[in-house]
Structure formats: structure tokens, C-alpha cells
Structure 1
Amino acid sequence: MRCLVTGATGYIGGRLTPRLLEAGHEVRCLSRSPDRLRDMPWARESEIVRGDLADPASLVPAFDGIEVAYFLMHSLGRGDFEALDRQAARNFAAAARAAGVHRIVYLGGPEPPPGDRPSPHLRSRSEVARILLGSGVPTAVLRAPVIIGSGSASFEMLRYLTERLPVMVTPRWVTNRIQPIAVRDVLRYLLAAATLPPEVSRAFDIGGADVLTYAEMMRRYARVAGLRPRHIVPLRPLSPWLSAHWVGLITPVPNAIARPLVASLVHEAVAHEHDLDAYLPDQAPPIGFDEAVRLALGRVRDANVETRWSTAAAWDAAAEPLPSDPDWSGGSMYVDERCREVSAPAADLWRVIEGVGGDNGWYSFPLAWAVRGWLDRLVGGVGLRRGRRDRHHLRIGEALDWWRVEELVPGKLLRLRAEMRVPGRAWLEMSAEPDGDRASVYRQRAVFLPRGLAGHAYWASVLPFHGIVFNGMARNIARGAETPGSRPRPPA
């Protein structure tokens, strides 16, 4: 089928597009800024056209020959998002009808219980659904609650609140029931909705395997993430307005997005029917909350994981980001990067890199490394006593002092994963790049993913030493490469 995807620069659209391509569909992506899709890994396999849902004339060529059109955009974060989404839906519906599109698929939000006054966010989602269902084109509206996946604004709020607050005084809406759904299940439903019979034109509830309160979601997130149990005290006076500002203070999620999302949490979000499953008999059952969180955190090694975060593609294959993910997604990550030009071939530089650790030392401030090793042993860690198997060569999976060799590309890349006792996860990566026949470039990157407040405090406590330790390490590795037959000498 020939599919049109709007919102391909967004969280869901950017993940649905490669799924459609893998299923054998032809995909055209509509974007006001096509350059934003240039670096997507699937960009060359799809057709990217310039267009704006606020400009009906630009939609005519975009809809030409399209059979299934996905409406996945929204203007959340703009003060006038309701008016913008209303006009976009009207233009989209008119263009789809004029082009003879066979089906519209829309990812909306949950329908508030009867008698509840909907939040502006949910009110807008419902209005867009009504406009598309009234288009005269068969339409499938999928009403999803909180989506669990790195990059999802709702999940990022949950992540940051839970990781940064061991004790929380919370608004009463944390006791409301929610049926969170993993992003991979949302994508499965969106993909399958394109094949619904032409007579089906209606809204469907979708949800995950578990019905939880928001408080239970925070507690279970903490357990999966390896955090200490979280203590949550609901407090009646915290209004949605105050809650939104509280979320904005604690998390990096922008206030303009947090406010409408928090306002929507005052409503329960539970699937009241599962009718869509009857049309999709071969679909696997949705996964549970805990597994969805593991996937979002990159705790599951799976090349097909859609829940990906931050800029840590080098550290975890399951966490490869999309260029369109917002800067505030992915959780906290601290990075120390160093780069030096080396007047020696890359082969000489690699010899020094692969010789790191054990009796060869860590090329800088040996007393600081020794003290850190002693401290690690005092708290039950391995310290520096494991050394290395071979003085000159490493292999994947072996121990190297308090590190483990996670990746090794001979002559190019060494990535070490920390096994010391720290409140978080840490990696150290060193690489050699040729720069002509007689020169090279040394790159060094330390990454720390904190766990809870203790992790943030730990990074702050070691930060003053990084300039000495890591800068000295980079300098001495470069010097060692430039002096064949020797090894780097750390400063006294």
C-alpha cells in the first residue's frame, strides 16, 4: 500500500515509518522541514515531501496516489494548540477525501469518563477524532493512554519524577487508574489498522496488559530501574496547575508540554473495550508494564526495540536514538569528552589504547586511581585487583581492573563498561582515527547514567577530578603513541 505519514519528525511517526517500510509498504512523509528527516536511517527508502497541514494547497501533491493516511501530528506545546490541531484535521480530512484515500488512521487520547470535564489536551484529541471520523473516509481512531517508551513525554515525566524524588508529596491524581501501553504495541496496532475492512470506521480503545495507578507506576518503575522503594504521599491541595509547575521544576520536560499532560492525568485512562483485537486475530497480546519499562531503559538486548533514548547509541544497541527525539528525552546522562590530534599513525595510537590498565596503569594521576580502587573494595567492589589477562592484547568480555571489555574493534575502538560500585552505570570509550599516513586523532568519552539522587550526587563529587584525570589520560596516551617503543608515563 501507499502510505502517507504526517508527524514523521515526531515520536510516533519517526518510529512507525520504518515499520511500514519493513512491512513492504511505500511510504511518503509530509514535513514542513524535510531537512529534519535527512539523517533518518530510513530516509532514502521513503519519499519525503514538503507540505504544511495549515496550507491546503500544499497537501494536494502529498496525497496524490495515497491509499492510507496517518494523522500523527499535534501542536502540544503551543498556547493555541487546540485551534491549530482543529484546522490541521479539517485540512487533512478534506485532502484525503478529495484524493480518494481508502483509510485514515489517527492516534488519539483516551476518552474521559461520562460527566468528567475533559482537559484541553483530551478535548482537542477528541475533537480531531470527530473531524476525521466525519470526513467521509473510513477512519480508525486509536485511543491510547500513557505510552511507555523513551522519548514519550508521558514516560519521560514518569522517569524523571521517579528517579529524582525518593520521597514525593503528590497530587491526588496519582491514585487514578491508568492502562499504560508499550510503544511497540502502539506501533503494532497502528500498522495493523491500515488493513481494517473498508466498512470499519470508528474509535478503538487500546491499552497494555496492566491497569495501575500512577503511584503504582512510579513504584514499579523504581523497582525495574534498580532504585530504592519510592515513598508517595498524596496531598489534596495540589491542583493540576500547581502539579504542572512542580513537574516543570523537577523534570526537564517543558512546561508548555507538561501542563496539558498533567491536566489530563486527573482523568482515569482505562480501555473500556478491546474490539480492535477481533479484527486482528494474529496479533500478539500486549506486553506488561515492567517489560515495557525494561525496553525503554535499554535493559533488553533487542535490535528491534523502538523505545530508544538520549545520545547513547554507542553504549547500548537497544537505546539508539532517533534524530527527531527531543533534547529532554532519554533520562539524565553525564558525558566527559576529550579529543587530541596525535602526530603518530593510528596503529601506534591503538597500541597504547589497547595496553591500558593492569600493570600498565591508566596513564594519569595513579594515586587517584589507586584511592578510587581502595574505596571500591571497601564497599564490596572489585577495585583494581583483577588486572588484565594479557599485557598487550584484549578481547571482548574479559575483565580489566574494575571494567569489562564491552566492545573491541581492533585498531579502532575500545569500550569498557564499569563494574565498580557506583549509583548508576558508567562506560569509558577510547578510539583511534587515521588522519593521513603519519597522524591520527584520539577520542575519549566517559558516560555516566545516574541512578536516583545518589547518582547525581556521585557525579558532582567526582566532577572536580575529571579535568585532571581524563585530560591527563588523553594527553599521556597521545604522548605514548608519539614515542614508539615506550608506554605513557603518568605525571608524578
Structure 2
Amino acid sequence: MRSLVTGVTGYIGGRLVPELLDAGHEVRCMVRSAGRLRDQPWASQVEVAQADAADAEQAARALEGIDVVYYLIHTMGGGSDFAAADREAATTFAAACERAGVRRVVYLGGLAPDEKLSPHMSSRVEVGEIFLRSSVPAVVLRAAVIIGSGSASFEMLRYLTERLPVMTTPRWVGTRTQPIAIRDVLRYLVAWASVEGEVNRSFDIGGPDVLTYADMMRVYAEVAGLPRRLIIPVPLLSPGLSSHWVGLVTPVPAGLARPLVESLRNEAVCGEHDIARYVEDPPGGLVGLRRAVELALQRIKEAKVITRWSSASVPGAPSDPLPTDPDWAGGSLYVDARARRVDAAPEVLWAVVEAVGGEVGWYSLPLAWRLRGLLDRLVGGVGLRRGRRDPRRLWVGDSVDFWRVEEVERGRLLRLRAEMRLPGLAWLEMRVLTHRGETVYGQRAIFHPHGLAGHLYWWAIAPFHGLIFGPMLRNVARAAERGGLPESGLFPAAPGAFRDGGPKDAVPT
């Protein structure tokens, strides 16, 4: 089966392509700029058609030889003419599908009740009707809130719940909705590439749970291990004010928050489950909200950290982050990144890196590290008492004071995960790099906050980063430039053991 996926740089499209490939389908991706797919790991496995859905000639070329089309284009932000632009694109593309002899169009829209709708939800309904009126059989899947890391609806839920232990909220938090896990959405989409017969209708799709938005925030808090949230609805907040409030509290842009907020005014509960006649429910049933949130947070719980969730590699599950997700997706991640050229061979620098902790210490302000260890022990943590089992070599799983070795790429990367008591997850990365033939030491402190306490913790200690991580950067480099570890194998972990040399030019990691 030959499938064309539009909107491939979006949240659903970027996750649908690898699912279709895994199911054995031939995939062509339609995108306005082919360069945007260049770094996708699956780019070599698909055809790329550079086209605009509103351009009839370009659309015709993209549709040649295609059996099933996935239309995943819809404007979320933008000005007042977004509905006209969506109408024009859908009308032009539907006509192109007719001329190309496409067997089926699959469109993912929104779950809308029979009442006054927001402009964006009305536009989604209109686009679905355009395809249903076409001579090409169309399947319109209507979903409410989609739960998965990177989904705008889920990210808004995530940030509101994590950042506000007590919140005064608009009355739409009491509106009932039927969320659906991203893996169930993708399962439905992929299945329609193979369903036989001419089906031309819409289907409501949702998970097994029907609950209010306030209930969803409480479930998220429970799964994330946050204290129960106190939610106080305030009926005076309009959608416009609500969207600005969401934009203030969360990194979700206000222009994107507004259509999300407006859609939450309407109850979004499935009126039927007819899709089960064509696509059977999985053996274990559809994914419930609690499990969907667990899957969306699993990457963090497994402590596999990356620079930003938006620069992750292709995930192992649909709920994971993707490179095409926006910068605000995936939760907060604070990073203190530093780099410095080193006048030493890479292997000498690596020896210094691998010796960190234990008797050698942390290459900066030993007293501060000892105080942090003492504080950790006072609150029931492990402190610095564990040291390390080998003064020169580290292996994955080793303990290093109050850190655990999470990753070792011998000669290149040491990643430590914090095991001290923290309101979040923390990592320390030390890298040996080369830049234009020169040795470079790269260092990153990374923190994923847990609730409001985590954010406050980061900003409380941020002023001290220059005192801790700045000298650490310089002293690691200085130790390598002095020849690395002496024959005794240890540097003294005492104040003044490492003296700053002259300034070095920093280079980006």
C-alpha cells in the first residue's frame, strides 16, 4: 500500500511515518520544504514530495500513484483568515485526490459536540466535511485531548499541573472530555491503510476514561508523584484571558493556547464507538489516562536525558519526544553548559575526567561539595560517603559519591545521574571533544524539575553555578594541561589544589 502523509513535520505526522513503515507500507511525505526532513532517521526510507496542499499542480504531482492519503494539516495559530486558508487548502487537495484516483483519505479532526463551536474547532469540522463530500471515500477521525509527550494539549496539562500546586482556574476545568493516548490514535490511523471497502463517514475516537480537565490534572499529579493539586474554578476568566494566563504560566505560546482553551469550553465525549466494527480494540483494551500519562513521562522516569526533548533521537514509542516537537514540548529542562579548549591530548583529558569524585574530588570548591554532601545526609540521602570503587576507571552502574554512572563512552563521554535528595532529576555530563583539531572539554549540568519546588530549587542555586561549575571547567582543563594524574593516581581534594591559569576561549558544545 502506498501512502502519502501530509503535515509530516507536525506532532501526529512525525510519529505516523515510522509506524506506517513498521507496518510494511510504502510512504511518501509531502512537505513544503524537503530540507526539514533531512535529519529524520527514516528520511532514507521514504519518498519526499515538496508541495503545498493549496497548489493544485504541486498536489497532483505529490499524489501520483498514491492509494491512501493522510491529511494532517490544520492551522492552530495565525490571524483571522486561518479558516479561509484551511478551507482553500482542503478544497484544492480534495479535488486533486479525485483526479489522482486516490482510494481513501484519512483526516484527523477534533471531537466536536452539536453546539456553538470555537472558530478553530469549526474550521476542523468544515475541513472534515469537505473531504466527506468529495467523491473519494474519506474517514474522519474525531479526537479530543491527545495524551503524549509533545502534544500541545498534553504539554499544557503538564505545565499547569507541575508549576501550580494551588491554582485558580477558568470554569472550563469542569468540562468533561474523553482523552485518548497517542498510541491508540496512531493505531487507528495505520489501520485505515488496510481496511477494505468504501467507508465514507466520521468516527469518534477516545480512550476508556471520561473525566473533567480538573480530574486530568489530578491524575497527572498522582502519576508524576506530585502533591494533590488544589483547584479553584473562577467563572470570570474569558477564553482570551485564559489563554494569556496559560501563556504566562506555561511555555505554550498564547496564540496556540487560545484555540486549545476555546475547544475546552465544549464537552468532548464520544457519542459512538462504531470504529470498533472496522478496527478492533487491542486485546488489553484502549489505553487509559493514567497509563497514557505514565507512557508520556516514561523517558524522564527512566532517566535518559538529552539536551532538549526537542532534539532527541527517534523514540522507541509514540509517547516519546521527537526532534520535530517544538522547544516548549517535553517539560522543563534546565541546562548549564560550558566548554573550554585544552592544551593536552584527548586521552590525557579523559584520564582527568574519569578520575572525578572520590579522593580526587570535584575540581572546584571542595568545601562546598562537602557541605552539599552533609546536607544530603541530614535529609536522609547518601551524601559523599560512598566514594568510588576504582580511582582511575568507571563503569556504568558505579557509584561516585552521591552520583551514579549512567553512561560511559570511553575517551568521550561520562554521564553521572544525581542520587542526592533533590526536587527533580539531575545529571552531570563531562565530554572530551575535538574542534578544528584541538582538544575541547565540554561540561553540562542538567536538571529536570519536579513540580514548583524543582523550579524554585534551580533558580535558588543558579547564582552559585558560576562558583561551582566555572572553576570545575577550568581546573579539569588545567589538570590535563599539567599532564593529567600523577603516578600516585590522585589529586588532593583540598582548597587551592587547582589554580586557575590564563583565560581560554570557550567553544560551543
Query: CA separation in 2, counterparts of 1:309 and 1:151?
Result: 12
Superposed, 1:456-471 pairs within 5 Å as: 456-471=455-470
| 1:250-307 alpha-carbon deviations (Å, 9 max, x no partner) | 11111111111101101111112111122123734221111211221235889xx9xx
Question: What is the rounded CA distance, in whole Å, between the counterparts of 1:394 and 1:421 in structure 2?
Answer: 23
Q: Does 1:17 align with 2:24?
A: no
**1:226 matched to which residue of 2?**
225
Query: What count of residue pairs does the alignment treat as equivalent?
Result: 484
Tell me if structure 2 keeps the 8 A contact 1:277–1:283: no
Measured after TM superposition, the shift of residue 66 of structure 1 is 0.6
For the pair 1:179 / 2:175, whether they are aligned, the reply is no
Paired-residue identity, %: 60
On the 8 A contact 1:337/1:445 being kept in 2, the answer is yes
Partner of 1:349: 349
The runs of at least 4 consecutive aligned structure 1 residues that moved more than 6 Å come to 316-320
Match of 1:130 in 2: 129
Contact kept, 8 Å, 2:312 with 2:322, in 1: the verdict is no
- Show the counterpart of 2:85: 84
**Inter-CA distance 131–309: structure 2 relative to 1 (3 Å threshold):** farther
Counterpart in 2 of 1:277? 276
Deviations along 1:135-189, whole A, 9 cap, x unmatched? Answer: 1111111111101111111111111111111111112211111111111111111
Cα displacement string for residues 306-326 of structure 1 (whole angstroms, at most 9, x for unaligned residues): xx9724749x97786433211
Amino acid at match of 1:379: V
Instruction: Provide closer, same or farther for how the CA distance between residues 474 and 153 of structure 1 changes in structure 2, counting only shifts above 3 A.
Output: same
8 Å Cα contact 1:309-1:321 kept in structure 2: no
Match of 1:105 in 2: 106
For residues 343 and 44 of structure 1, the distance between their equivalents in structure 2, rounded to whole angstroms, comes to 40
* Mean CA deviation greater in 278-287 or 454-463: 278-287
**Alignment of 1:401 onto 2:405:** no
Q: Aligned partners of 1:317, 1:443: CA distance in 2, in Å?
A: 28
In 2, Cα distance between equivalents of 1:228 and 1:43:
43
Contact 2:359 2:491 in 1 (8 A): no
Q: Are the aligned partners of 2:308 and 2:327 in contact in 1 as well (CA < 8 Å)?
A: no
CA distance in 2, matches of 1:129, 1:456: 42
Long gaps (5+) in structure 2: 497-509
Establish whether residue 61 from structure 1 lines up as the match of residue 61 from structure 2.
Answer: yes
- Secondary structure of 1:297's counterpart equals helix
Does 2:150 align with 1:151? yes
Q: Distance in 1 between matches of 2:62 and 2:436?
A: 46
Who is 1:214 aligned against? 213
Cα contact 2:310–2:324 (8 A) shared by 1: no
Q: What residue in structure 1 maps to residue 251 of structure 2?
A: 252
Deviations 1:63-102 (A, max 9, x none): 0001011100111111222111111111110111100000
1:197-224 residue CA offsets vs partner (Å, 9 max, x unmatched): 2321111111112111100100111111
CA distance in structure 2 between the aligned counterparts of 1:479 and 1:491, rounded to whole angstroms: 15
Residue in structure 2 matched with residue 361 of structure 1 by the alignment? 361
Tell me, in whole angstroms, the C-alpha distance in 2 between the residues paired with 1:476 and 1:376: 25
Counterparts of residues 272-311 of structure 1 (less than 5 Å):
272-281=271-280, 283-284=282-283, 285-299=285-299, 310-311=309-310
Distance 1:467 1:296 in 2: 34
Matched, 1:483 2:482: yes
Contact 1:104 1:132 in 2 (8 A): yes
| Partner of residue 446, structure 1 | 445
Are 2:179 and 2:207, in contact at CA under 8 Å, matched by a contact in 1?
yes
Q: Structure 1 residue 126: deviation in Å?
A: 0.7
Query: What's the CA shift for 1:462?
Result: 0.9
Quote how far apart the aligned CAs of 1:347 are: 1.5
In structure 2, give the amino acid aligned to 1:109.
Answer: G
Instruction: Tell me which amino acid in the other structure corresponds to 1:397.
Output: G
Q: Distance in 2 between matches of 1:454 and 1:144?
A: 34
> Bigger shift: 94-103 or 32-41?
32-41
State the partner residue of 2:52.
52
Partner-residue secondary structure (3-state), 1:358:
coil
Measured after TM superposition, the shift of residue 354 of structure 1 is: 1.1
Secondary structure of the corresponding residue to residue 94 of structure 1: helix
**Which stretches in structure 1 are left out of the alignment for 5+ residues?**
none
